[in-house]
Amino acid sequence: MGERIAANSPQAVQATKEVLNWGRGRTVEDGMLYAAMRQTYLIPNPDLFEAIAAFAEKRKPEFK
């Protein structure tokens, strides 16, 4: 499982960890709102463009 996680964008993995840790002891609704807010920081990201290009070219992404 660690290999599968490590194959993803490092920024996306870090954001996921932050969302999961922040959500402890909070409501699902609060967690979802925080996750949506946190995602806005990931959208203008070079890793996103690399993921889209890799998908279109049917290759593994090379995140930096």
Token look-up 């599968």 returns 4
Question: Which residues, in sequence order, are CB contacts of 11 under 8 Å at separation 6+?
Answer: 42, 45, 47
Q: Over the stretch 23-58, which tens digit does the pLDDT of each residue have?
A: 999 999 999 999 999 988 888 889 989 999 999 999
Q: Six-digit token pair at 31?
A: 């967690």
pLDDT attached to residue 21: 96
Residue 14's domain comprises 2-56
Asked if residue 54 lies in contact with residue 61, where contact means CB atoms within 8 angstroms, the answer is yes
> Domain tally for the chain?
1
pLDDT band at 64 (very low <50, low <70, confident <90, very high): confident
Any domain includes 38? yes
In a 3-state reduction of DSSP, which class is residue 6?
Answer: helix
Question: Distance between CA 3 and CA 8 in Å, rounded?
Answer: 9
Any domain includes 63? no
Any domain includes 64? no
Any domain includes 61? no
What CATH number does residue 45 fall under?
1.10.12
Predicted TM-score (pTM) of the model is: 0.75
pLDDT attached to residue 3: 92
pLDDT attached to residue 57: 97
Any domain includes 62? no
